[in-house]
Structure 1
Amino acid sequence: MNVHWLKKLRVVVSLFFLILTSLLFLDYRKMIPESLFSTVLSLQFVPSFLKFFTVLKITVFGFIVVIVLTLLFGRIYCSTICPLGVLQDVVAYISRKFKSRRKGRYHYQKAKNILRYTILGITAVALVFGSTYLLLLLDPYSNFGRIMTYFVKPLLVWVNNLFSPLLARINVYYLYPVDLKPIKAAVYIVPVIILGLVLWLSVTRGRLYCNTVCPVGAFLGLLSKFSLFKFRFDTQACTGCHLCEFSCKSSCLDVVNMTVDETRCVTCFDCLTSCKLGAMSYTTRKALKTDSVIKPVKVRESNRKMFNGDHDPGKRVFILGSLAFLAGITGISKAKEYVKNAKPTTIPEKKNFPVTPPGSLSIRHFTDYCTACSLCIDACPTDVLQPAFMQYGLAGIMQPTMDYHSGYCNYDCVRCTEVCPTGAILPLKKEAKQTVQTGLAHFVKENCVVYTDETNCGACAEHCPTKAVHMVPYKEDLVIPETNDDICIGCGACEHVCPTTPFKAIYVDGNEIHNLAEKPKEEKLENPLEKTEDFPF
């Protein structure tokens, strides 16, 4: 049976998932409908697994589909659906184009089982005890999302802003300038390390990251030992030319002993197309057992040394050092200008809790299920969602938080609740979201320009969607803000537009557990026509 078409199919499917997933993170113009997010991401293993415990929808069974596919075909998820895995294949493919034929070869390597199963075990134990910290750091989907958000998207926006004025000169207005909020430099530490590790291993060792660091790869590798379809050598046809070994990015083909390490094989089908003699096959376990009486033809050990070359001890040091570091870590438009304070404010904002997005229920729920994939950050139209550094503590680095200096939460927007793939942010209807109290506004009179400079402002009250912030008489013809906790939803519009620096005169302190605010009372406008029986003029 000719199965060479399997590789072509794998390439097409993997590029489809890579491009589609990338577009979700790079959609800086917010053109992709929210319904597409859950459809595309339903097969991402970790988000689907976490969402299984929070939302009962058909899309949460994606991880079960992945498990079934693995038990049938092996680690097909790693070669076609996982965006980080496909990205590594693309990087490896491009890098090999710049290498000599000999240097571009892969070689069989012994499995680093102690390392990868230790990482898998620690991650699983931490998850059982309610910590998603290691999963946040090592989940391949989330790491891919951070790579797209922190590195590729800014480059794309820069190119957009470079060409938009040039095109405008020739009356082409399809592109327009886009404002991208800067991310704190400290947040880049982990993404830079992961990106460097992934790129370096992709260029030099193919899929070594997937077979040493990635807990999803280790788990699916265990399942693939029992898969229905497996790769095998035809011991009578194989001549020991090592061509299959040279093409194996997982370094799992042992030509000397004619064996395949199924736990590391990512089912890329490269070995099938590289073998010119048809000595590699992809068959069911039944067919494999039928031919198991054939004794493997031993290839001389001298051939192994000739093909493999010298051992590189620096690789292990680099990987272990990187893992040790990771383990140790265990909008409103301001078109209208408001008066700024003449003197710097002196009373700091006393925030006890960070503000989590509406639909996240509580800080505990949010941090337990969020893997910091940054999809909600990309989807947020006002840029209020920003990656945290220490707001949630060391274990919450890169998880989104509401940064009201960057933006505010639009009263009518529920986009983040619709795109979250893990259930950290649960779906909300617009009407329900408008009464979710994520925090409370606190007014610091001594910081307000009405108090310090005796001048009118009212920016906070003007932008409050529920009128929880309103103006009351102060002295003479001045009015000053006052807050109503009952109808405040913590959207941060007041804090965002407050003109005082360096400390705001009004700020939002997060609720550890989200509350329900009262609906603001709608004042009925008086109709003068109802007061007279005569014609009004």
Structure 2
Amino acid sequence: MNLYRLLRKSRIFLASMVLIFTFVLFIDLYEWIPNETFDAILYLQFVPSFLHFITVFSITTAGGFLVVLLLTFLTGRLYCSVICPLGILQDVINKIARWKSKKKRFFKHKKPHPVLRYTFLGIMVLAMIFGAGWIVTWLDPYSIAGRTFTYLFKPLTVWLNNGVIAPVLQNFEIYSVYHVNLMMPYLIPVILSFATIAAIGYFSWKRGRLFCNTICPVGTLLGIASKFSFLKVQFDSSTCTRCGKCAGVCKSECIDIRNYSVDHSRCVTCFNCLDICPELALSLRPATHKNQNPVDFKEATMPKEEKQQATDNNRRKLLVTGLALLTGSRIYALKKNKLPDNQKDLLLNNKEYPVTPPGAGNIKRFNDICTGCSLCVAACPTGVLQPSLTHYGLNGFMQPHMDYATYFCNFDCNKCGEVCPTGAILPLPLEEKQVTQMGKAVFVKQNCVVYTDETVCGACSEHCPTKAVTMVPYKNGLRIPEVDQSICIGCGACEYPCPVPQPYKAIYVNGNAQQQLADKPDLGEKQEVDHEEDFPF
């Protein structure tokens, strides 16, 4: 086995491990993975690491993007082939396509698309500067892969677990694998995630890394750095026979055998061309001073009208996609807020702000940093974290919010902050999380069944972990809720069990624009127990 074959096989092995480990993070049904493992696996993800660094300014905690840049200056875009889960997914799809293809040479050299590449990179940079988090959400490759795992692969995994694995193992009295509930109240995230990965998968099936070298801003940025990398794939024109095998396996379509050149800005350093070359005319060696990226002849002679037409077509596609997203969100909002005839007398819950996860700080900061990767949604043990649709507006589309129609936030859980790779949800010690006020409970007397039906209820008070909701005398021996907002943390344990349907809950949580610290509840003095005294029965 020669050196280049060893490099290629090592790259495939490492990429497989990264894809498997990242996939398992999102599909951890039983919370078997320790929280610190999340940071170790996701440390090198470029955009989350950069955003996390902006938040904490710690190279040790969030310096993975610097490691990626150094690696790129050394060997080129190895990140795209080994570390990026979306890039590895595309390789898997393309590998299947090659197996099914009857052609001996699947790829050939194609012209680059610099206008599109630098346009998307510019959009990404401006989005980060001006806090347009929703744009970052749809351009970050890691986040696209994360939503694919969360909203497509996890439901399939849960179905397989509940329908096949758990019943079979329980027949053998193995109960470490058990039935798992999947909390997914909205269909829109599933549809959008499927549409996104289907489009990228189609590009990969037909053209390999077309998405990475046309749309992905991370690939474009690392491509710029790759032009200055120390080690580059280079031709030896004296031994090359122009057999075309190297171009046939180049999934980036960046090898021009006519001019003995490699477009290093598009090369993802997969080592496929090095391994397949029979004459060893291609080698990975320190860069020379020769022009490694001559202008492609076809691109230079292409009429300006064709270039402009291609650019216009892509712009129209982006515009149509954006309008579809906006229209879908608006239709959902109208449907959700429509008043049924039998509930005309009930008051609509007036939530001034959505409820952000504990540790998000304030809504603006959260929307600016969160990339909507949905790792917190996948890791949330109660399923209360769900992707937002219209809750934050366009700027926070698909970012997580506390959805108390699904469940409520566990008082003894702080997992979302422990797993967040960008720092949008800061990790909080459990003691601090338990007094972090995400919002305040609001009681609507006109909607309460104690008032409307004159019947006994106390579900909200029974579930409140801080006793911010208590039952006070009302009339005819009935008791009605009363809220002490000073000790309320907005966990939703009162809103979720309220028997009145949404959005007319008798008690609901109004989110805080800026999270605060609630007062500690007075639980009274603990009674001392004499363990030496015999039981009285």
TM-score where L is the length of structure 2? 0.88
Distance in 1, Cα, partners of 2:100 & 2:527: 77
Is residue 435 of structure 2 the alignment partner of residue 435 of structure 1?
yes
Matches within 5 A, 1:201-212: 201-212=203-214
Q: What is residue 226 of structure 1 aligned with on the other side?
A: 228
How much has 1:300 moved relative to structure 2? 12
Q: Rate the CA distance shift 1:346–1:230 in 2: closer, same or farther, 3 A.
A: same
Counterpart CA distance in 2 for 1:274 and 1:202 is 21
Distance in 1, matches of 2:526 and 2:229, equals 70
Residue in structure 1 matched with residue 513 of structure 2 by the alignment = 512
Q: Secondary structure of 2:474's partner? A: strand
> 1:195 matched to which residue of 2?
197
Cα deviation code 1:223-274 (max 9, x no counterpart): 0000000001110110111100000000000001111000000000000111
Instruction: Evaluate the alpha carbon distance shift between residue 327 and residue 254 of structure 1 in structure 2; reply closer, same or farther with a 3 A threshold.
Output: farther
Q: Which residue of 2 aligns with 1:158?
A: 159
Structure 2 matches for 1:304-315, cutoff 5 A? none
Q: 2:319 aligns with which of 324, 327, 348?
A: 324
Q: Match of 2:425, as an amino acid? A: I
CA shift for structure 1 position 169 = 3.5
Cα offsets for 1:401-453 (capped at 9, x unmatched) = 00001011111111001000001001100111111111000111111111112
**8 Å contact 2:247–2:273 — kept in the other structure?**
yes
Alignment partners' CA distance in 1, 2:190 and 2:393: 16
Moved more, 123-132 or 133-142: 123-132
Q: Is the 8 A contact 1:193 1:322 kept in 2?
A: no
Q: Tell me: CA distance 1:480–1:62, structure 2 relative to 1, closer, same or farther (3 Å).
A: same
The reply on whether 1:459 has 2:459 as its aligned counterpart is yes
> What residue identity is the alignment partner of 1:444?
V
- Secondary structure at 2:29's aligned position in 1? coil
* Structure 2 unmatched ranges of 5 or more: 299-305, 327-341, 531-535
Question: 1 CA distance for matches of 2:134 and 2:18?
Answer: 26
Would you say the 8 A contact 1:146–1:191 is kept in 2? yes
Matches within 5 A, 1:75-154: 75-102=77-104, 105-154=106-155
2:248 to 243, 246, 249: 246
Counterpart of 1:55? 56
1:491 equivalent to 2:491? Answer yes
* Superposed displacement of residue 501, structure 1: 2.1
TM-score, normalised relative to structure 1: 0.88
Q: In structure 1, what is the equivalent of residue 365 of structure 2? A: 365
How far, CA to CA, are the matches of 1:293 and 1:147 in structure 2? Answer: 40
Alignment check: 8 A CA contact 1:49 1:60 kept:
yes
Alignment correspondent of 2:37: 36
Per the alignment, residue 282 of structure 1 pairs with 284
> Percent identity at matched positions?
48
Which residue of 1 is the match for residue 25 of structure 2?
24
- Is the 8 Å Cα contact of residues 181 and 406 (structure 1) preserved in structure 2? yes
- Match for 1:475: what amino acid? K
Count of matched residue pairs: 500
Corresponding residue number in structure 2 for 1:353: 353
Residue 348 and residue 262 in structure 1: after superposition, are their counterparts in 2 closer, same or farther (change >3 A)?
Answer: same
In structure 1, give the amino acid aligned to 2:522.
K
Q: In the alignment, which residue of structure 2 is the partner of 1:259?
A: 261
Residue identity in the other structure for 2:103: R
Q: Which amino acid aligns with 1:55?
A: V
One-letter amino acid of the structure 2 residue matched with residue 6 of structure 1: L
Distance 1:315 1:245 in 2: 24
1:435 & 1:300 partners in 2: Cα distance? Answer: 65
> Is there any run of 5+ residues in structure 1 with no aligned partner, and where?
302-310, 331-342, 530-535
Q: Note if contact 1:460-1:494 (Cα within 8 Å) is conserved in structure 2.
A: yes
Q: CA deviation at 1:515?
A: 1.3
Indicate the residue corresponding to 1:338 in structure 2.
none
Deviation per residue, 1:31-57 (Å, 9 max, x gap)? 111110011111000000000111244
The reply on whether 1:475 has 2:475 as its aligned counterpart is yes
Amino acid at match of 2:69: I
Sort the Cα spacing of 1:437 and 1:256 in 2 relative to 1 into closer, same or farther, 3 A: same
Structure 2 residue identity aligned to 1:385:
L
Q: What per-residue deviation string (whole Å, max 9, x for no partner) do you get for residues 286-338 of structure 1?
A: xx34xx599x9xx999xxxxxxxxx9x999888555433445559xxxxxxxx
- Say which SS state the counterpart of residue 515 (structure 2) adopts: strand
Q: Whole-Å Cα distance in 1 between the matches of residues 362 and 126 of structure 2?
A: 23
What is the CA distance between 1:499 and its match in structure 2?
Answer: 1.3
Deviation at 1:172, TM superposition (A): 3.5
Q: Which moved more, 1:54-63 or 1:162-171?
A: 162-171
Letter in 2 for 1:280: L
Following TM superposition, by how much is the alpha carbon of 1:127 offset from its aligned partner in structure 2, in angstroms? 1.8
Deviations along 1:47-75, whole A, 9 cap, x unmatched? 00000111244130000000000000000
Name the SS for the 2:48 alignment partner. helix
Counterpart CA distance in 1 for 2:366 and 2:314 is: 31
**For each residue in 1:374-415, what CA deviation from the matched residue of structure 2 results, as whole angstroms up to 9, or x when unmatched?**
000011111000000011112221100000010111111110
Maintained 8 Å contact 1:383/1:407: yes
Deviation at 1:482, TM superposition (A): 0.2
Matched residue of 2:63: which SS? helix
- Whole-angstrom distance in 2 between the partners of 1:383 and 1:274: 48
Instruction: Give me the CA root mean square deviation.
Output: 2.5
SS of aligned partner of 1:94 = helix
1:168-205 Cα offsets, whole Å, 9 max, x none, are 34434343211111241233453233212111011000
Distance in 1 of aligned mates of 2:3 and 2:180: 51
Query: Is 1:256–1:300's contact at 8 Å kept on the other side of the alignment?
Result: no
Could you tell me whether the CA contact under 8 Å between 2:376 and 2:419 is conserved in 1?
yes
Partner amino acid, structure 2, of 1:236: S
More off after superposition, 175-184 vs 29-38: 175-184
Question: Which amino acid in 1 is paired with 2:454?
Answer: E
Amino acid at match of 1:275: C
Partner of 1:9: 10
